[in-house]
Chain A
Amino acid sequence: MFYVPLVFIVLLITGTAFAYLMGAVSIVTFIATDKAQFLSVLPQRIFAQLDVFAFMAMPMFILTAEIMSRAGATRSLIDFAMSLVGRFKGGLGHVNILTSVFFAGISGSAVADSAALSRTFVPEMTARGYTPYYAGAITAASSMIGPIIPPSIIMIIYGGLTGTSVAALFIAGVVPGLLLAASLMALNAGIAVAQDHPGGKSETLPRFLPSLINAAPALCLPVIILGSLVFGLATPTEGSAIAVLFALMAGQFYKGLDWRMIFDAVEATAKMTGTIFIILAAISVLGYLAGQLGWSQALAGWVDSFGLTGTKYLFFLMAVFLVAGMFMDTPVALTLLIPLFAPQALEQGISPIHLGIVLCFNLCVGLITPPLGKCLVVVAALTNLNYWRLAYTALPFIAVQVLVLLALVYWPSLSLALPRLFGFSVN
């Protein structure tokens, strides 16, 4: 048994891909605990844990975002955000955040948001007198809105792993996403005054109506997705297929799509799905091991012994997930920790939807916290900024995000009121 941690560390420092690391460590553990005969269930286990209804929405929402960004919808969203909030002090900061809100409606990924927007916003904001680090920090921080406002890849993963309604999770993410955006804008407004950022009536702004018309297809997408879920017209999977269809039409409206672009978008989708599926496959092996060795029950007993219940347990989980998010990719942390920690939370009567929102939000905070803040990494790489200085500049934004997270933990109805309103059962 002693050599299992050793294997883990060796595989870790040699940069082994997470899926193969986890798969190998699990298999070594099976052998170390004299349960090698259980390895014969592996093929069935892997297949069964991938063959999950809820996961179907994932490839299609990835495809939607791939098509929309290839078609050049992003620029129209920036222009529209500009026409709305560009006039205020610190205007481009607000535009940056608002663009992320709009972008969130076509993409389920924060890193995609950072990648798509940093090369536009950082030079533009720098040209108008913001420091490049402030521009980079606000771009990275606001990208976190992406996976909170639907669609969201990580919420689909959470839904699939815990058997929670993805539709309800999507609807529950709307208020937290908007709350996050509003909080970031408030911070931006404060800093704009304190540091005398540019902005005001002098700015030349795109005219409202033309920019609205141009942005309309991209803005309609989340409305269609959410509308079909809210009124029970479609399951998330069906909604995701409609989103793909709509993205194909919107793509014609923008730059126009050719077969090459569509093929590339579909191929990228298959590859991204594969990246997450091989992780899910490896985690399914770990999950089986945990079931055989009774880890979940042991962990439950351990948690019980500390008397952590209800909101206290949730705060404990927040600490675990916050640290995990600092070191791991969001889907990796999610797939690894959910099977271990979620059952106790649900056992204690915490709403699976509330839990999903706070855990996903929590892990996303890790996207802009060092040492491994993936959005910071992307922004730093694309704009040639120093990673650590960028992380330092992002500190106030991280603080605001943690405050919003605490509010979400403390007031479940921030997440649950909307799904309740539309008739979803939240417990």
Chain B
Amino acid sequence: MRKMIIDLSDGLHKAVRHIAVLAVCLMFFTVMIQIVARYVFSAPPVWTEDVARYAMVWTGLLGATLSFKTRADAVLMESVFPPRPHLLGHLAEAIQSAAVLTFVLPVVYFCFMGLKGGFAKGYLARQSGLTADTLGIPMVWISVSVPLSMIIILLHLAARWAGDSPRGAPPSQLD
């Protein structure tokens, strides 16, 4: 069971790495198309900006799962407790996980369920009634990135408890 969860988490991680790379490439190529269309054909198509922006949202949300899996997320303060297997280390990890669940579970829940009207009034159901402006496709194909990434994060969290400990990744350098 433990191995199954870790394998699932690893497999998903590998797939997401590739999809995220594709999303970055899609973003790059659409912006290039926009530039070429503007200067070579002097006719900027409107859809390029939307496609690029949606690719960015996919990149960022899938990237958030990569960041979570490799423990590259920014912390305000290192834990004051000794690391696992010390009992306090387990406690600290449990509290961290509780924070992840507190943030992620309501988001996932309300993707599928509405305040009133249950499943039919959840976020995804509401979005399926809307059309992306310039693309003419239902918004739900873009907004589904939110629950998808959050569910993947939950899976990676489960894998953590099943004993998954990826190699220490270099921290991100954004500042």
* Residues of chain A at the chain B interface (Cβ within 8 Å): 10-21, 23-24, 27-28, 37, 39-44, 46-47, 50-53, 55-56, 59-60, 62-63, 109-112, 115, 147, 153-154, 234, 237-238, 240-242, 244-245, 263, 266-267, 269-282, 285, 327-332, 363-364, 367, 374
Contact = CB atoms under 8 A, between A and B. Distances in A.
Nearest to B114: A40
Contacts of A11: 95-96, 99
A278 B64 contact: yes
Interface pairs A-B: 10 shortest CB-CB: A274-B63, A15-B79, A23-B103, A330-B175, A277-B60, A17-B73, A270-B20, A24-B102, A241-B31, A274-B64
Contacts, number: 235
Contacts of B60: 50, 55, 59, 273-274, 276-277, 280
Contacts of B78: 15
A267 B20 contact: yes
Nearest to B93: A14
Most chain B CB atoms below 10 A, which of A59, A242, A273: A273
Interface residues of B, number: 68
Contact of B62 (A42, A47, A270): A270
A398 B18 CA distance: 42
A23 B95 CA distance: 14
Contacts of A241: 28, 31-32, 35
Nearest to A45: B107
B75 A277 contact: no
Which secondary structure dominates where chain B touches chain A? Answer: helix
Interface in B1-46: 17, 20-21, 23-25, 27-28, 31-32, 34-35
B164 interface: no
B159 interface: no
Contacts of A21: 76, 99
A272 B25 CA distance: 15
Contact of B74 (A14, A17, A55, A270): A17
A43 B123 contact: yes
Contact of B21 (A51, A53, A147, A267): A267
Nearest to B157: A20
B71 to A, nearest CB: 8
A263 B35 contact: no
Interface in B137-151: 142-143, 145-147
B68 interface: yes
Contact of B31 (A60, A109, A331): A60
B54 interface: yes
A276 B74 CA distance: 9
A390 to B, nearest CB: 18
B96 A17 contact: yes
Nearest to B23: A270
A111 B61 contact: no
B29 to A, nearest CB: 9
Given A12-B77, A269-B24, A331 B175 contact: yes
A174 B63 CA distance: 31
Contacts of A111: 173-175
A111 B170 CA distance: 12
B172 A16 contact: no
A131 B111 CA distance: 58
A18 B143 contact: no
A266 B103 contact: no
Contact of A276 (B35, B111, B142, B174): B174
A13 B57 CA distance: 31
A44 B96 CA distance: 25
15 contacts: A14-B95, A24-B100, A43-B124, A43-B147, A44-B123, A50-B57, A56-B56, A59-B59, A63-B28, A244-B28, A266-B24, A273-B60, A275-B72, A329-B174, A367-B175
